[in-house]
Amino acid sequence: QVQLVESGGGLVQPGGSLRLSCAASGRIFSIDDMGWYRQAAGKQRELVATITSGGRTNYADSVKGRFTISRDNAAKAVYLQMNSLKPEDTAVYYCNADARMYYYTYVRAYWGQGTQVTVSS
């Protein structure tokens, strides 16, 4: 199995910064795209940012210019630097990885357990 463990969430004031980390472990042959999604209370889960194994990034319009996604392929890790945080960024943030356990298996999506980010004064 593939496990994803997030860290770095917490409470921050508006305008502040947080850095989320996510490390993948377990039986992994390869990882394609990695990303961050979030789910606010009473809302559907939404994409925040994704990054390919080659480093190409994609961001939700709501976070462009404020959030930066990066990854360390050797460490099987993905990061999300969040600056200029707003109350509307409050949500549970989930790490995602599209991974293959063996060379002969299909790529499937794996998810972390989520980490709470609260932006409030």
Res 87 pLDDT > 90: yes
pLDDT of residue 103: 86
What average pLDDT does this structure show over 48-69?
97
What average pLDDT does this structure show over 13-23?
98
Residues in the chain: 121
Handedness of CA 81, 44, 118, 15 (dihedral sign): positive
pLDDT of residue 3: 95
% of the chain surpassing 90 pLDDT: 96
Tell me the pLDDT of the chain averaged across its residues: 96
pLDDT of residue 36: 98
Task: Tell me the pLDDT tens digit for each residue of 103-114.
Answer: 888 999 999 999
The phi and psi torsions of 16 (rounded to 5 degrees) equal -85, -175
Q: Please list the residues that pair with 91 across neighbouring strands.
A: 117
> 44-83 burial, b if ≥16 CB within 10 A, otherwise e?
eeeebbbbeeeeeeebeeebeeebbbebeeeebbbbbebe
pLDDT of residue 112: 97
pLDDT of residue 115: 97
Task: Classify the phi-psi angles of 15: left when phi > 0, otherwise alpha if psi is within -120 to 50, otherwise beta.
Answer: left
Q: Is 75 helix (H, G, I), strand (E, B) or coil?
A: coil
What average pLDDT does this structure show over 85-89?
98
Q: Are 46 and 38 in contact (CB under 8 A)?
A: yes
What average pLDDT does this structure show over 37-66?
97
